[in-house]
Copies of this chain bind each other. A is one copy, B any other.
């Protein structure tokens, strides 16, 4: 692999804005890497669609990212990670990472009392993907699952503090606190936006796992292991592509990242 090839971008995709928390964590940990983000806003949400459809959408996006010369792909979406990661890995030769496995591994590493809480959308909780992956690694684990359907609109609104978001978060976290979990996985890419609120409610000894951060760490490892990391020392370039409504995306996107996201281009997928 020559030096130039290491300047090839990392491709990141999600059904919409949620994956921007993963992009944000990647930009922090890998500031010199070039990145391309695809938000499939024409077909959001993925959570209520069938496995076959999600695999087709994910393949279309990966084909695009590969045609744009990406060196690796990050699935910044819990549904697509759950339903399409194995399929994509068997279809393509480049490294592909999802948001679920790194969070699961980190949770297992951190939990002392072997009782882990998982927060996610109805679709993710219903799929049982976290519990089954956790128990595959350690069948003795106890898992408390909690769907938090109001968290996505709260995050997209940027309505993250004050009485109402706090009361909603308390309501959702109550079963986890009662069951004395010592580790909580944020199992939806939107939820890091509510991290401060969630942290304040959980007892001090509970470790909160931000999947966006652990995925970024994993990507950094993969780049190093494969000698894929860029040698550049100037800030990486970001290209942001969406399949519908770039202006609406732009309005919400600013709440999800700590940097200026720049121009958002509309694309069509086939």
Contact = CB atoms under 8 A, between A and B. Distances in A.
B153 A163 contact: no
Interface in A149-183: 149-150, 152-154, 156-157, 163-164, 167-168, 171
User: Chain copies in the assembly?
Assistant: 2
Interface in A125-161: 149-150, 152-154, 156-157
Contacts of A224: none
Interface string A42-75: 1010001110010000000000000000000000
A265 B49 CA distance: 16
B168 A164 contact: yes
A163 B167 CA distance: 9
A4 interface: no
A2 interface: no
A41 interface: yes
A245 B48 contact: yes
Nearest to A167: B164
23 contacts: A41-B48, A42-B49, A42-B53, A44-B48, A48-B244, A48-B245, A48-B248, A49-B244, A50-B244, A50-B245, A149-B153, A149-B156, A149-B157, A150-B150, A150-B153, A150-B154, A152-B153, A153-B153, A163-B167, A164-B164, A164-B168, A164-B171, A167-B167
